[in-house]
Amino acid sequence: MIPIRGFEGDRVAVFGLGRTGLTAARALKAGGATPVLWDENERARATAAAEGFEVEDLKTADWSKFAAFVLSPGVPLTHPEPHWTVELAKAAGVEVIGDIELYARTVALAPLAQRPRTVAITGTNGKSTTTALIGWVLTQAGRDARIGGNIGVGVLDLPDMHSGAVYVIETSSYQLDLTRTFRPDVAVLMNLSPDHLDRHGGMDGYVAAKRRLFANQGPGDTAVIGVDDAWSQQICTELMSAGKTAVRPISSGRAIGRGVYALGGVLYDSTGDRTVEVADLTRARSLPGKHNWQNAAAAYVTARALGISSDDAVEGLMSFPGLAHRMEEVGRVGPVRFINDSKATNADAARQALQSYPKVFWIAGGRAKAGGIEDLQDLFGRIERAYLVGEAADAYAATIGSSAPWTISGDISRAVVDAHADAAAWAKKTGEDAIVLLSPASASFDQFPDFEARGEAFRAAVASLTARKNSKAHGSAA
């Protein structure tokens, strides 16, 4: 855990007692503050009280006694409307911050000789894979990389800092909205497309939240920006014009100057006096497709900015084992491969997966986001058959229409059985491997608490199918 500095002896209000809120409270307490906790869920309050925390109804609390207010990133800050705690904090002149800001202030207060380095990654898609990939590359190169934030372990739950540590932190737009002084040594923006617009009041608010990642950077810092979409291109241009940081554009679709890019799966570095071919990414089994080539470009640039040699950076890229729930092969039955891309919670993320295979048996659906799968119509020709699940099943069937065959499977277990039967027949007919792809293009909240649980349900269904097939095979042999 990272004890929070700067609030010694102060009372700090904390609202939202999920993983982030409780971790923040523990870190504040470890640093000498007195956290005052509240949640609208009675069970969450009881858990906090049992751990020895002061629990007080923030509706009736004396806000003038609080030095700061730590808000869980899942609670609305501005839209659709500010949460009542936010209104009370603002009325009392109490600043509203989050766990990333607590981390930032603690880093800034550390003596220079003990201060770690920070890599922060954000973007609409690819940030989790890129975070894990950067952490892997740094670790393989002998660095003490601590990986967390919006992925896996919360940032404040990571081991306490020292000068040799590198914190590799995935940051969401919700978390960035709650920052004021956060200054990463390397800030990475992968891409931008419409997402979470209800929480940011539209695309302008969403882009502004992501742009906060670069707000406090200055000389000696590095900004790594994907330039394959118009919003990110604009941010890159603005930062280059300002000239405060070393800006490194990355792309997975075109050659760019003073940056790193991938063409046809080959990674090129043009940050020096000449363009150098550095890696054939088609040989990296856990990084298939253009979206992963962009992830690799970001990881390579970040590693180089932190003093890792080109050879060591490439070695890390090529040995990366992959990230759970993101283009993860979870099983194979004969010629049928099952790919878990449960983390694809919107159409843009699903596009990246669909583009990676010429033909797929596609499992999709859940709780649809704005626009559903309308933007994927140009890829419907790759779908041998779609197996639709969850709340969005009927709407997705209507969108696909006659462009591809589809089946309403209802849930993932049924979809796996349905897809396997069709995929096995297709593989037998064509003599090719078949891909069953779970890439839902939807949130999971209709049937699962999160995308991880959905991915594990897919994995379990594949394992059950594999066991049944193996049992039948052994029975026949006997």
Domains defined along the chain, listed by start:
11-97 (3.40.50.720), 104-319 (3.40.1190.10), 328-477 (3.90.190.20)
Reported as half-sphere exposure (CB side, CA atoms, 13 A), residue 38 has a value of 16
pLDDT for 477 equals 43
pLDDT in tens, 167-194: 999 999 999 999 999 999 999 999 998 8
At residue 275, the 3 state secondary structure works out as: coil
3-state secondary structure of 144: strand
Distance CA 174, CA 32 (A): 27
Count Cα neighbours of 434 within 13 Å in the Cβ-side half-sphere. Answer: 23
3-state secondary structure 372-425: CCHHHHHHHHHEEEEEEECCCHHHHHHHHCCCCCEEEEECHHHHHHHHHHHHHH
Contacts of 192 (CB under 8 A, 6+ apart): 123, 124, 206, 207, 210, 229, 231, 232
Give average pLDDT by consecutive 10-residue segment, the chain, 478 residues: 96 94 96 97 94 97 98 94 97 98 97 94 91 95 94 89 95 96 98 87 94 96 96 96 94 92 95 94 88 95 97 96 85 94 92 90 95 95 97 97 97 96 96 96 94 95 86 52
Rg of the chain over all Cα atoms, to the nearest angstrom: 24
Distance in angstroms (rounded) separating the CA atoms of residues 306 and 336: 41
- This prediction has a pTM of 0.79
pLDDT in tens, 15-30: 999 889 999 999 999 9
**Residue 83 CB neighbour total at 10 angstroms:** 17
Measured torsion, CA atoms of residues 64, 68, 73, 79, in degrees rounded to the nearest 10: 50
CB-count burial class (<10 Å; 0-12, 13-18, 19+) for 277:
exposed
**β-sheet bridge partners, residue 185:** none
Query: Side chain identity at 470, as an amino acid letter?
Result: N
Give the other-Cβ count within 10 Å of 237's Cβ: 14
The predicted pLDDT at position 473 comes to 57
* CB proximity list for 410: less than 8 A, separation 6 or greater: 389, 390, 393
